[in-house]
Chain A
Amino acid sequence: MSEQLTTDVEHHEDPMSHVPPGSIWPLLATASLTIVPFGVVSVLGAFNATHWAIVGPFVFPAVGKAALILGGLGFVFFLMCWCNQIIREKTISHDVVAQQKDLQLFILLFLCGELMAFGAVFGYFYHQRLYVEGFGPAEGMEFGGPTVAYATFILLFSSVTCEFAHHALQSYKVGLAKALFSATILLGIAFLGFQGYEWGILIQHGFIPVGGSLTDSAVASFASCFYVGTGFHGLHVAIGLVMLFMVLMRLEFGHFRGRRHFAVLAASWYWHFVDIVWVLLFITVYVVR
């Protein structure tokens, strides 16, 4: 084993040549993330004027709102800078194929974590379904009409276009890949649109856990689960859209011409994951009674 390793490892005179440069972006991303929770509390109006010494200008909800927006945007911006630095770094500590494998493992593990977070939501849902009488939409309520069917169909179809886009890229048909990725993004946006429409109608009918027209506590609990489950999923759709958009932009800049496709693979896996979760969520919310 050792002989093989000695011959394989190419040794350079200056070991510093393997050391990657430092990066300020993790720190700046954290710094902008820091003000977000303070902004949240501030917007909720929960600080009062005597807190100057501790939270400073956050005592004003307006400052909190600004901090929320600036912190969020700053975080996204610094993450972009971070990605940019990684993309620009010409070389990595070991060869490209191995690095790609590491990154794939990363995204797989990350999705495992995501799955567990969704698992908690599903666990809650099924527990309530089993043990709470009347857990579900209110009697005689219009719930889960054709809008949901369209939305589901759209998201399923977007997964197919995403897969074909990836295949097109692998066989170097960049134009086709771009077209298919654009289609995926449009379908994703359409899904979010349908979802928003659905939410709007339900809220209009007073289908909210507290303060709406719901008098039955089991239905209120169902409403909590519904909004948090679909909202959390919608958030993931939005993140997936950002990833797909970045892939599209990078295709525009002429990236992904060689063997390195990690960002494409990541976006595609993430999109399929979001799709699978939607199927499970659809069954949980609309089918199981």
Chain B
Amino acid sequence: MERSAIAPMPSLEIKRYTGIMDWLTTVDHKKIGLMYFWFTVTMGIVGGALAGLIRFQLATPGAVIETLQAAHLAGGPEPFSLFSNGGGIFGDQDRFNQMVTMHASVMIFFTIIPGFIAFMNYIVPLMVGARDMAFPKMNAFGFWLLIPSAMLMLSSFFVQGGAAASGWTTYPPLSILGHGTKPGQDMWVMGVHLAGVSSILAAINFIVTIASLKVMKWRDLPLFAWATLFVSIMALIATPVLAAAVTMVLLDRNFNTTFTIASQGGDPILYQHIFWFYSHPAVYIMILPGFGGISHVIAAFSRKRVFGYLGMVLATGSITALGFVVWAHHMFVVGMPTWMQYYFQVASLAIGVPTGIKVFSWLATMWGGTIRMTVSMMFACGFLCLFVLGGFGGLILALTAVDYTLNNTYFVVGHFHMVLVGGSVMLLFSMTYFWWPKMSGHFLSERLGKWVFWLMFIGVFIAFFAMHISGANGMARRIAVYYSDFRFSNYLTTVGYLMTFTSACLFFGDLIYSYRRPKITVDDPWQINDIQQSFEWATSCPPPVYNFAKVPPIPILEQIPSHDHKH
């Protein structure tokens, strides 16, 4: 509250750039947020295309083992396929593994995490009434670092031996193979280093921005800002550990250490523990910001205050805390002691409790509200359906005994795609439809948006529900071929993929076309200002470079009564 004595900058000394140089030198959180956004959209298409290659391989005749065997017995030509050791048109099955690895890496490191950072960057300073992030230049640096990171990972496809093929989890000894001759894995590791530095810097920046630049009290902080805060704490604590884990792989590959080489005293399972100590929190890094954003969407389009504000904050906090103590449920089958399996099973199931609190609070927010079914709201509802479904798959997998059977099958793949695509990606879409008018000054099409939604909702459901079926029947993940029993469910998944990808393309077109629609002239195009508790609707669309002529926009602050803490 002591933000007094704002000294004016001597305007004569300031050199302002224009045009392309303005974007290259920008330290404005809104421009950086938009750059994050477009980077994310581009990388989403790349990652989606990689997924497409995986899906098309699994729909070709050459992916069915019986067909392959029949062809071999008859001495006929190899059946058509994209990735096959007998001559696929895109290469051998190692290429398929590269596709799987890079699809995951691109989607995690360059699409979902930066996708949320785009909104955190653009919206959070506006929401808390700040003029910019606490460290604007560091913010720019954090964004630029993603570009060499993506360059490293994607260019590694074209070097000797191709890209990293050991899965995004980089488990040794697979990831140690080919050291000195196949640089793809080394490039992947250094790409992760750069993305990690970017993530840590962004996290520090968000924590300081929220803690220090907010104009409201903690108890009035919008839920999206709370979620940003918790996610940043997670990213700050977990990411250095990931850096340490992948550095071990890099050192073992190139500098003669033995951290992960079992024959020389190292411990590959310990690597897995260290890796998942980051990567389980990373799962929440990929969903919690969306949890925060969706609270605003549902409240806005139900014309009600979000139900159970304090419960929401505490639930987010407990997911953050629990997220750090459940990592080993990713590795039940490595042969850990029974007490550890019990502990990690119970702790993993416990995460269902705060998540349930959040889901019920969203439903209670809608209950009795005046619901407006905008596309943003449709995506929010679609998220609730698919996320809860995917979450139940997670409860099943958290049971150690069941996990022994389902481990490394498509059931796991189906589960995490249902919560990542049905969850995080739906949330990103919902948030885009909600905040794009603020970010660009133009609406996205509500009519086309309904097509985007239904195609995506049905496509995601078909694709990933079918994966659960394949997995429950025993289809192994990361394999380019399968027995004919799995043919139908794989075709279904490919059909679902096509629908989802079509929907994403429609969305992309609409995004570009939106700039040709009339400019929004009001501050609050959704007319929701009276029920939102944040400041981003109190400035023009898009906001001026200084966000608010006065800090804070006091008239809005007075419109918002403080929360009723009795309920």
| Chain A residues within CB distance 8 Å of chain B | 1-2, 4-6, 8-12, 14-27, 29-30, 33-34, 37-38, 40-41, 44-48, 50-51, 53-55, 82, 85-86, 90-95, 98, 101-102, 105-106, 109-110, 112-114, 116-117, 119-121, 123-124, 127-128, 131-132, 135, 208-211, 216-225, 227-228
Contacts and interface: CB of A to CB of B under 8 A. Distances in A.
Contact of A40 (B190, B248, B544): B190
Contacts of B140: 23, 26-27
A209 to B, nearest CB: 5
Contacts of B265: 128, 132, 135, 209, 216-222, 224
Contacts of B28: 19
B326 interface: no
B187 A41 contact: yes
Contacts of B194: 33, 37
Contacts of B8: 12, 14, 17-18, 91
Contact of A8 (B3, B26, B136, B207): B3
A46 B132 CA distance: 43
Interface stretch (B112-120, B141-149, B314-322, B390-398): B141-149
A104 B180 CA distance: 43
A166 B239 CA distance: 32
Interface string B121-146: 00000000001101111101100110
A4 B558 CA distance: 13
A5 B554 contact: yes
Interface in B141-176: 141, 144-145, 147-148, 151-152, 155, 158-160
B200 interface: yes
Contact of B259 (A50, A101, A124): A124
A192 B7 CA distance: 44
Contact of A112 (B27, B137, B236): B236
A259 to B, nearest CB: 13
A199 B236 CA distance: 32
Contacts of B274: 120, 123-124
Interface of B: 1-11, 13-17, 21-22, 24-28, 131-132, 134-138, 140-141, 144-145, 147-148, 151-152, 155, 158-160, 180-183, 186-187, 190-191, 193-194, 200, 203-204, 207-208, 211-212, 215, 217, 236-241, 243-245, 248, 251, 254, 256-259, 263-267, 270, 274, 277, 544-546, 548-552, 554, 557-558
24 contacts: A5-B552, A9-B3, A10-B6, A14-B11, A16-B545, A18-B546, A21-B15, A22-B22, A22-B25, A26-B27, A33-B194, A37-B193, A37-B194, A40-B186, A48-B160, A91-B9, A93-B131, A95-B3, A102-B208, A112-B237, A120-B277, A209-B257, A221-B258, A227-B257
Nearest to B183: A46
A173 B17 CA distance: 42
A30 B147 contact: yes
B544 to A, nearest CB: 7
Contact of B212 (A102, A117, A123): A102
Given A37-B148, A48-B160, A101 B7 contact: no
A117 B258 contact: no
Given A21-B14, A211-B256, A102 B240 contact: no
Given A33-B145, A38-B152, A217-B263, 12 more contacts: A2-B557, A20-B9, A20-B136, A51-B158, A51-B160, A91-B10, A113-B239, A113-B240, A124-B270, A209-B257, A221-B264, A224-B265
B257 A29 contact: no
Contacts of A128: 265, 267, 270
A45 B257 CA distance: 19
Contacts of B240: 113-114, 116-117, 119-120
Contacts of B131: 18-19, 93
A215 to B, nearest CB: 11
A208 B186 CA distance: 22
Contacts of A114: 240
Given A46-B186, A112-B237, A93 B251 contact: no
Contacts of B151: 34
Contacts of A219: 265
B144 A30 contact: yes
Contacts of A102: 134-135, 208, 212
Query: Which 5 A/B pairs are nearest by Cβ-Cβ distance?
Result: A221-B265, A22-B25, A120-B244, A217-B265, A46-B183
B257 A105 contact: no
B367 to A, nearest CB: 32
A220 B212 CA distance: 48
B554 A30 contact: no
A222 B545 CA distance: 55
B546 A27 contact: no
Contacts of B141: 26, 29-30
B232 to A, nearest CB: 9
A37 B187 contact: yes
A105 B5 contact: no
Contacts of A48: 160
B551 A9 contact: yes
Contacts of B10: 90-91
Contact of A47 (B183, B243, B256, B551): B183
B134 A117 contact: no
B4 A44 contact: no
B24 A9 contact: no
Contact of A23 (B25, B180, B263, B544): B25
A1 B216 CA distance: 9
Nearest to B244: A120
Nearest to A29: B141
A58 to B, nearest CB: 10
Contact of B6 (A18, A38, A120, A209): A18
B186 A44 contact: yes
Given A109-B236, A117-B240, A21 B6 contact: no
Contacts of A34: 147-148, 151
B4 A8 contact: yes
A98 B267 contact: no
Nearest to B555: A2
B282 to A, nearest CB: 14
A238 B35 CA distance: 35
Contacts of B207: 105, 109
B186 A210 contact: no
A12 to B, nearest CB: 5
Contact of A210 (B132, B211, B264, B545): B264
B136 A228 contact: no
B258 A210 contact: yes
Contacts of A33: 145, 148, 194
A247 to B, nearest CB: 20
B9 A17 contact: yes
A225 B135 CA distance: 36
Contacts of A16: 11, 545-546
B259 A95 contact: no
A82 B241 contact: no
A91 B17 CA distance: 19
A10 B159 contact: no
A9 B4 contact: yes
Nearest to A105: B208
